[in-house]
Amino acid sequence: MTDKSPAPLVAAEGWHVLHLFYKVEQGAWTLLSPEEQFTARTRLSDLVAEIRGTEGAQVMTFAMVTPKADLGFMLLCADLHAANAFEKRLTNALGADVLSPTYSFLSMTERSEYTTSEAEYAETLVKEENLAAGTPEHDAKLTAFRERMTKYMKDRLYPVLPPWPVMCFYPMNKRRGEPGQNWYALSFEERKKLMGGHAKVGRTWHGKILQLITGSTGLDDWEWGVTLLAHDPLNIKGIVYEMRFDEVSAQFAEFGEFFIGLQLPLEEIFGRLQL
């Protein structure tokens, strides 16, 4: 036996992401004295502050809308051991049996396999913009492309999520096994073309929706988790509705439950949950 902490378990690329949704068991909460309740609220507040002060970690706090859940956290950690330890502490921070997990999802930030490569972009410049390779104009466009892609990859793999007030989360799969609807039976070229059109639709919502796609193949029951942040809930409805007419969704997508949360400080959440 040893008290030595395990070495950090950090992936070669990307962060671990946990979506954690809970019901508040008011019966268990009312059994606590006012002093115990104050201590419990302080313990959870201090834990959230600790996570936010930890390098390679983030946590977002939500008052969940609808009785599917009351309280939600989105936890991002570079170290899987840290994610696991923080999750256990979040679950128990308000006291034994006060928070009852209703849904959880484990995934990882990841790059898209369908991202345009530098070679593909360079070829596009030659074919579609008539910019010969090696010319100053061609080189300038390539330099700008590299800069955009560097930021894009950083935002996908190591995102810093903003305090936008509305959060939507849902898991999804790509269909398999149905004749004509097996995503994995398509060639890479077909899938890349379809995803290019899908992404083009998504880009029309830039500035209204911040979307983070995280991969969960081998980690949870679905293949991806989708987190949408918005200022206006109407834009959540809008993007999900519009994207479903795109062939990638219409022909190949399966969706799980949808969860809506409001990103708020813990003190406000405590008041709403009567804690």
**What are the residue numbers of the active site?**
170
Q: Alpha-carbon distance 77 to 58, whole Å?
A: 7
Q: Which of 170, 147, 182 is nearest to 240 (CA)?
A: 170
In eight-state DSSP terms, residue 96 is T
- Say what angle helices 80-92 and 34-52 make with each other, to 10 degrees: 160
Residues 6+ positions from 113 with CB-CB distance below 8 Å: none
Identify the burial level of 43 via C-beta atoms within 10 angstroms of its C-beta, where 0-12 means exposed, 13-18 middle and 19 or more buried: middle
For residue 107, give the H/E element and its range. strand 99-109
Identify the burial level of 262 via C-beta atoms within 10 angstroms of its C-beta, where 0-12 means exposed, 13-18 middle and 19 or more buried: middle
Q: Which of 170, 189, 188 is nearest to 249 (CA)?
A: 170
95, 32 contact by CB (below 8 A)? yes
Q: Specify the length of the chain in residues.
A: 275
